[in-house]
Each structure stands twice: as C-alpha cells, then as structure tokens.
Amino acid sequence: MQDEIVVEDQRMLKLVDPTARLERLWTGATWSEGPVWWKDGSVTWSDIPNNRMLRWHPVTGGSVFRQPSNHSNGHTLDREGRLISCEHSGRRISRTEADGTVVTVVDRYQGKRLNSPNDVVVKNDGTIWFTDPSYGILSDDEGVKADSEIGACHVYRFDPEKEELTIVADDFEKPNGLAFSPDESLLYVSDTGVSHLENGPHHIRVFDVVDGRTLVGSRVFAKIKPGASDGFRIDARGNVFTSAHDGIQIYAPDGVRLGKITVPEIVANCTFGGPDGNWLFIAASTSLYSIVLKTSGGKI
C-alpha cells in the first residue's frame, strides 16, 4: 500500500511518522464499526449486518465475541471498565457486567423507544452521552425496520445515578460519532445527514459544555469529505482523528486539517489503544487495521 500518510500541515509530523505503515489485523466482516481496546491487548468491535461482535487478540487472532449482538454499533468502556454498547435492534444502550450478563442501561425517552443508538462516550462523572439516529430502523439490513417513536434524531445525556435521560442537542439530521475534548470542556458530534438527504450535512460540530451537562455555542468544526464522519476519537492534545471515505483524517483543535492516513477500505470508526495508548485501531468495512502514532489517546 503506497502513500498511506498524507501530510498537509507540518503539525501532522508530530502526530504520525510519515514512514508509519498500516497493518491489517483481521478481515472477514461485512461492515465494521465501534472498536474498543481492552487492557489484555484485545479489541472488540461490531460487524453490524452479521449481527455479531468480533474480537481480535495479538496472540490468538480473530474470533466471535458475541452473536447475536442485537446489531450492536458503537462501544466504549465506563469508569469501571465495563463495556457500554449501542444496540440497533435492542434499541437501547446496554452494559456488559463482569460476569458477562448484558443489562439495559436506557431504552426509552419519556416512554418512547429510542431509534437505534449509534455511538456512545462516558464522561468522567459517569454520565453516558450518546447519539440516536434512525439508521438501525430504516431497514432490516442493520437492525429491525420500524417507525421512529420519538420522530427525530437527538443527542442524549443519561445520568445512571438519577436514571435521568435528557436531550442535549435536538437539531441534527443524523447525529453519529461523538467525543469530548481531553478536559471535557468541549463535545464534538458529527452529523452524517448526507447519507439520506441530498446536500445534507457531512460535518463535525463542536459545543461548549456548561456545568458538565448543557451544550451551548454550536459551531461547525470541520466539513468532512469525501464521505462523512461516522466516528472519531480525540488524542491527549485535542487533535481529532475522524473516519472519512478515504481513511482517517486528522484535524487540529483549530479545525485545520493536518493530513490523512489513507486506508484501502471505507472507514467507519477508530479508537486508541495499546499499552502506551499510541496505537490507532481502525474499523474499516471488512477489516480491522492498526497503525502506530506519535501521539496517544485522550478521552475515549
């Protein structure tokens, strides 16, 4: 694979060595999303159309982690290291307990079923923030076709202690990936409305987080092309590593694109991992890839 690292701004050189090479760790999925890295060195991710979650381990290789998976999509770990998952056909956020049982965290807003939660992050205070577009109920391909009970696609904050679910942003077409800045003063949320709306949004927006619970000051951070930002992660210095159709695009905190890691398949999501947090794991269509960076992960 040639020209994997594209440098567009000299700041890119502090983040990725131009000679770094992408490695394909596993292939055989139909559509990969939602990688999460565990301290044992393994990665768990979703293969949504096949209704399964996969696992890759550096010694034992690839295996099926869970099937059926309720068409799970995005994942993260909570403050206790438990797996928090977005489920399309479960239409819920679930948590996998230490003994392997899967429990519902939240599945309704004011008595109405969620659409199909897509991506999730946990804030340092333990609250769970997630997006709820309609991709998992539009057809039977990645979930179960159904009408939206809520009738719109929102961004939510769930407080597990109070069991309180609130809408934090209600003006998205298709809210998708999300991540906090390292100090949690900012929340980034992508809108992939272009997938079903001609001239629809294909950008990442950023908000100021007030009192740890309210979003204000929405502005467009970056317009992503080709494709859109299905998911992204932010390194410890605040740089945004986002999926796009040509690979991973990297944006500085000021919104300037610094460069790209080109990937030979359409990328959905990525996550930081490795003992030093400087490996980037990339879920891209049929495969899981990794690359070593010169920077490391911040908030997941």
Residues forming contacts to Mg ion in the complex (CB under 5 A) are 118-119, 176, 230-231
Q: Tell the smallest beta-carbon distance from residue 122 to Mg ion (Å).
A: 16
CB of 14 to Mg ion, least distance (A): 28
Strand partners, 168: none
Choose between 4 and 175: whose C-beta lies nearer to Mg ion: 175
Nearest-5° angle of CA 5, CA 180, CA 33?
Answer: 55
Q: How far is CA 231 from the centre of its chain?
A: 4
Q: Which is nearer to Mg ion, 5 or 129 (CB)?
A: 129
- The sign of the torsion formed by the CA atoms of 152, 156, 161, 164 equals negative
| Least Å from the CB of residue 249 to Mg ion | 15
CB of 119 to Mg ion, least distance (A): 5
Rounded to whole angstroms, how far apart are CA atoms 137 and 143?
Answer: 6
Of 142 and 230, nearer to Mg ion (C-beta) is 230
Least distance from C-beta 162 to Mg ion, angstroms?
Answer: 27
Residue (4 or 130) nearer to Mg ion, CB: 130
Burial of 40: CB neighbours in 10 Å, binned 0-12, 13-18, 19+: exposed
Residue 165 near residue 156 (C-beta atoms within 8 A): yes
Residue number with CB closer to Mg ion (16 or 135): 135
Structure tokens at 29: 């999925």
Give the nearer residue to Mg ion in terms of CB position, either 16 or 269: 269
Given a contact cutoff of 8 angstroms between Cβ atoms, the answer to whether 87 and 70 are in contact is yes
Cα–Cα dist 300/288, whole Å:
18
* Minimum gap (Å) between residue 270 Cβ and Mg ion: 11
DSSP string, 137-182: GSSSSSS-----SS-S--EEEEETTTTEEEEEE---SSEEEEEE-T
